[in-house]
Amino acid sequence: MISEIQFNNEIALIIANAIREDVGDGDHSSLACIPKTAKGKAKLLVKDRGIIAGVAFAKQVFDYVDNNMKVEVLIEDGSPVNYGDIVFFVEGPSQSILKAERLVLNAMQRMSAIATKTKQFVDLLEGTNTKILDTRKTTPGIRALEKWAVKIGGGENHRFALYDMIMLKDNHIDFCGGITQAITQTKRYLKEHNKDLKIIVEARNLEEIKEIIENKGVYRILIDNFNYEDTKKAVELIGDYCLTESSGGINEKTIRAYALCGVDFISSGALTHSVYNLDLSLKAID
């Protein structure tokens, strides 16, 4: 996984790029009608139900735009919210509040949606030993925000990107000429380049599971698109050899049944690619 420093750098890049994209050479709507010296106060109002996420990010955005702004947080990240709740107050130069408004709302609405969906999956797994993972099926440019939201919702992060973990999927295996060849060449590559990366290998059937087990050094086997019966067989075959992960079209209706097959993890792209934004608004206070 990426380090805290790398993650913080990603967040800083997201903020800088988003403000560049949105503000350009100036927020002319605010500049045209609001005096530079004007002070204001606004509240982050919830108009939906779910899990709030992005409060800490919002504070970073306000600080980036204008460190004279002050934020009073009433509801922290990861908390359940209902219609009418006030998450925080922000106070400072009116122009600065308006400059930061859209980025804060866009990010928090999406992060809250992801945290809400993740919490639903976490609740469905209660009482099992299975953890929910996200994937790389994220929105280009804001992956760090979406994976942060998964953590806020109680889930776990899979690899962040292509560089922090080896994941040998079906195409890698087929292009390489087979499972054993792919694992062997991967271990050679890691040794030659002095890299310490965990190896995950995808299996499409029980025979591939057996072949993976014949090789050493695999951290986790991805049991992909298996039915319940074959997933149970796969878990029995793997035993203590390595960790197990189920994936492939698993949803709210099927996730618990797959967890009861005994897998350690279930990964779901739906956590980040199939959510509806939580309705939030930033309202000025007279």
From the list 60, 93, 63, 58, the residue with the least C-alpha distance to 74 is 58
CATH assignment of the domain containing 141? 3.20.20.70
Instruction: Please give the DSSP secondary-structure letter assigned to residue 177.
Output: T
Q: Which of 134, 146, 202, 245 is catalytic?
A: 202
Tell me, yes or no, whether 90 and 143 share the same domain: no
Full DSSP string of 202-263:
EESSHHHHHHHHTSS---EEEEES--HHHHHHHHHHHTTSSEEEEESS--TTTHHHHHTTT-
pLDDT on residue 253? 96
Distances in whole angstroms, Cα of residue 99 to Cα of each of 38, 62, 147, 180: 14, 9, 25, 55
Let me know whether 60 and 144 are in one domain.
no
Q: Which domain holds residue 142?
A: 123-273
Of 10, 224, 245, 264, the catalytic one is 224
Active site residue 202: yes
From the list 43, 59, 102, 232, the catalytic residue is: 102
Asked about 198 being catalytic, the answer comes back as no
Strand partners, 150: none
Residues 106 and 181 in one domain: no
Output the pLDDT for position 52.
Answer: 98
Catalytic, 224? Answer: yes
For residue 200, the 8-state DSSP code is E
Q: Tell me: do 130 and 259 sit in the same domain.
A: yes
CATH code, 57: 3.90.1170.20
Percent of the chain with pLDDT over 70: 100
For 212, phi then psi, to 5°, come to -60, -45
* Structure confidence at residue 213 (pLDDT): 97
pLDDT at 256: 98
In sequence order, the β-bridge partners of residue 88 are 73
Are 127 and 268 members of one domain? yes
Q: Are residues 23 and 91 in the same domain?
A: yes
Q: What is the mean pLDDT of residues 18-23?
A: 98
The model's confidence at residue 1, banded by pLDDT at 50, 70 and 90, is confident
Record the pTM.
0.96
Q: What is the pLDDT of residues 66-111, one digit of tens each?
A: 999 999 999 999 999 999 999 999 999 999 999 999 999 999 999 9
Do 110 and 185 fall into the same domain? no
Residues 79 and 151 in one domain: no
Active site residue 279: no
Q: Does the pLDDT at position 126 exceed 80? A: yes
Specify whether 149 is located in the same domain as 100.
no
The structural domain count of the chain equals 2
For residue 233, indicate whether it is catalytic: no
According to the model, what pLDDT value does residue 238 have? Answer: 98
